[in-house]
Structure 1
């Protein structure tokens, strides 16, 4: 097992490119458009274009046109895109005053790069294969990514977006083929990354994975304590669902409504489940009670402190 600490150089840092691999999807119009959507969605909050004001609306249009032009012409890194925006060529945008709008966007993105090294993509990017490929003689690799080095939700969401773009690009080039699974991405507190309602820097890439990852052999597990807070396209694409112990009346009510909607009965003891007990349902089936073994052998009463996480990551890095 390897512990990674993006944002913390003392532990085991992890970096990915801030833009998707446009060249890998250039020949597929649908996937190219999804890559553009993902890139634009991640850049919008950094460019201060989130909101309903007309200025933000025009800015999003110019940004999208610039990203498409940049991607079509072989652009790969964020710095190059910012240079393009700073001196937008004629014909890139149909919006009046686009060059001034683009120049303003470039300044906001430059400021974001100065303020957040992770967004800037500083450091040597890690090949996603490093996270998934077992060491010699082993059957699997477990890569635990801790956010102890990322202070804000935007930083965490930006990193998740970069991770998901890199994983999706890698799994497309290395599909599972005749194997049942090529990798498994487990995301805790998933409602903070792809919530219902508001968009985050990683919502679009999360939805892309939820709809397409399975055909390449990448499995996804989204864990949440607020199922109604998770984007409905994620739960709608889930082939298997587990419900564990719930205590909030609103959560219990939502779980019972879900169970009845799937053709079963209410989950009478959902508030009294013991560790390892769940209600599980496969696609098209009703919920059944199940007991599962713990996947890890050590379960302390409290999580590791930030210092302990960093120390363990650093020890693994030095080994």
Structure 2
């Protein structure tokens, strides 16, 4: 098909050079032979080279190469626009609408490696696309991924969405779909000219779409399915007609409409075969194996052209498959350029012979030839260079759970390496042990033995924590107590760069990390497979051609060196130079030989790598195996807390437990006087000296207060000083800081107690 661009009326060069070298002829001589042959053949049909010139000047032949920049790059838009009047089509012809919808969804699934057996994923994508199309909106790949993760539809049939397909399966599908916009091999689909049918069917234009540069069969089926769906949607916009206005030619249709399987291209092609003629679109399908084509295609094909068949088995298959009459016996006797034309509707069979071609009839164009042909049409659209995708670092915002308690500030945390950013928490001073017990929701008890008053035992949740001297009660003991209570465990992964501080759902996090590690391993395996396929299909096939060209070059160099050696001096040397055997020409040949040897060495390296593919793939799996067995690592962090403004009165005596109104507290008893001394009142400064009763200490600043300045919170009963007492702006009662909420007004702050807050919210 690509040779339609070779309309040669003056010279067949450079298109005939490779064929001339293969036949061992001089390109100039072979060019003249072709001109004579084509002129003679065309005269048999009342044509000449002037007709070829008119064809070349009036008809534009454009060669499109999807996923390649050799010809005109053709892209698939990352958005799937709705067909023309989709809502009307859904009402009038629902079967065609649903076939088009399912074909689009199946094409997407096929591209990411899913088969048509994945019914639930297919139904989910079809429902999402159908919802968008019904509103007249297109959907992009990004929107499709988001809809799969968080679907706007709540039900699938009579089941809830989570009962129909679990969130875990949807997350996996979203990850696979994300490869379409992140993996370089898939991103190449979105570069080039947009798939525009008006441009492909321009007047006096032949658009040839070359699928040779698409590496895998699944990707070819995906592209053909998208192309035919776009053609079907574009066709629906046209008015009905009885005239042939457009022509679709599909060379070698085998595999795209098989009898049993249903690739994405089959549904779209069957829809076109059934309805295209009403819109002026004719379809020509060519194949060497008509038995491997679905019977629905054959039943809709009234005109059939059959070439020469050599074996009786092929003739029998064609006769039974195409329902030919007895004239099928002449198929083995057909000559070159002879075809048997059979019209199924009229039941007639005629032997026909097409005229000679206006264009150069030879094998498919090479990559360099396609570049040369498309140079005048090609737009400046460059495909991006292949770069392996970077693994994006997952930054998870974490915090230390101490922030919930609002009791202390982190001075420093020392770890061996950076794991994650941790928010800095600014909090108040450390309160007394009763406050710590309330905030941390841990039972803390201090016991002093009467016989050994200089030592005490600290219990946490009724378990002995530490025995210490009373002089250490001020700073070291409380700090050590808090550090052990709030010991932090950080879990992280080296592979996917994710970290979390004391996670509640550690097992679920490990599963997520496993999925990410598997995804990373699959990416690396796909990169290796893509590289191997590139070597296998693009590099290694050139080996024989380079070897043969190198052998011819060696003979040519040897022959020229021999002639230059025999004919040395002036007269004969000028004759040699005239014939092209100059030393300069010899140097150019040797330079070309070095280039060919270098290319051959690269091909041999590629062959070695292809042979080692199983070993390389196994090495990648072994690399990730330890990480899959143990996806998470652990680091324990012990925060160092800053102790501020903690004051204890010093003196000779002992600590004892005393009680007042059923409330117990630890007090300091001075031995000299025999009464309890707690210090001076923070408000008036007089000494606070009491008997065997609870010493009033402010719960905020841990300072003594006398009886005249003791204030109690009406909600929790905590003792506070005048500086830390807060009056409710609603009820006027006094509370502590924990039992009220601060509200900022225009000029000053106001506080509302928790009881009034509940009333206001009701």
How far apart, CA to CA, are the structure 2 residues paired with 1:58 and 1:304? Answer: 43
Bigger strand fraction: 2
Whether the 8 Å CA contact 1:24–1:169 is kept in 2: the answer is no
1:287 aligns to what SS in structure 2? strand
Whether the 8 Å CA contact 2:107–2:222 is kept in 1: the answer is yes
**Aligned equivalent of 1:98:** 165
CA shift at 1:78, angstroms? Answer: 3.1
Change (3 A) 1:41 1:207: farther
**Aligned equivalent of 1:65:** 127
2:222 aligns to what SS in structure 1? helix
Cα shift readout 1:213-232 (whole Å, capped 9, x = no counterpart): 11111111110011011122
CA shift at 1:298, angstroms? Answer: 1.5
How far apart, CA to CA, are the structure 2 residues paired with 1:33 and 1:159? Answer: 19
Superposed CA RMSD in Å reads 2.6
How far apart, CA to CA, are the structure 2 residues paired with 1:248 and 1:175? Answer: 46
Whether the 8 Å CA contact 1:194–1:203 is kept in 2: the answer is yes
Is residue 133 of structure 1 aligned with residue 202 of structure 2? yes
How far apart, CA to CA, are the structure 2 residues paired with 1:103 and 1:72? Answer: 25
Is residue 37 of structure 1 aligned with residue 107 of structure 2? no
CA shift at 1:318, angstroms? Answer: 6.4
Change (3 A) 1:192 1:251: same
Whether the 8 Å CA contact 1:41–1:204 is kept in 2: the answer is no
2:348 aligns to what SS in structure 1? coil
**Aligned equivalent of 1:116:** 186
| Structure of greater Rg | 2
1:142 aligns to what SS in structure 2? strand
How far apart, CA to CA, are the structure 2 residues paired with 1:306 and 1:272? Answer: 37
CA shift at 1:112, angstroms? Answer: 3.9
2:320 aligns to what SS in structure 1? helix
Q: 1:191 aligns with which of 246, 254, 268?
A: 254
Whether the 8 Å CA contact 2:72–2:193 is kept in 1: the answer is no
**Aligned equivalent of 1:175:** 239
Change (3 A) 1:287 1:103: farther
The two structures have a TM-score, normalised by structure 1, of 0.85
**Aligned equivalent of 2:73:** 13
Segment of structure 1 superposing worse, 165-174 or 246-255? 246-255
1:316 aligns to what SS in structure 2? coil
Change (3 A) 1:48 1:295: same
How far apart, CA to CA, are the structure 1 residues paired with 2:344 and 2:197? Answer: 30
Give the unaligned 5+ runs of structure 1.
Answer: 135-139
Change (3 A) 1:256 1:34: closer
Cα shift readout 1:97-136 (whole Å, capped 9, x = no counterpart): 52523332222222244232355x44441321111121xx
How far apart, CA to CA, are the structure 2 residues paired with 1:82 and 1:248? Answer: 52
Whether the 8 Å CA contact 1:49–1:60 is kept in 2: the answer is no
Change (3 A) 1:125 1:110: same
Give the unaligned 5+ runs of structure 2.
Answer: 1-60, 381-762
Whether the 8 Å CA contact 1:36–1:68 is kept in 2: the answer is yes
CA shift at 1:76, angstroms? Answer: 3.2
Is residue 272 of structure 1 aligned with residue 333 of structure 2? yes
Whether the 8 Å CA contact 2:248–2:284 is kept in 1: the answer is yes
**Aligned equivalent of 1:228:** 291
Is residue 147 of structure 1 aligned with residue 214 of structure 2? no
CA shift at 1:47, angstroms? Answer: 4.6
The two structures have a TM-score, normalised by structure 2, of 0.38
CA shift at 1:278, angstroms? Answer: 0.9
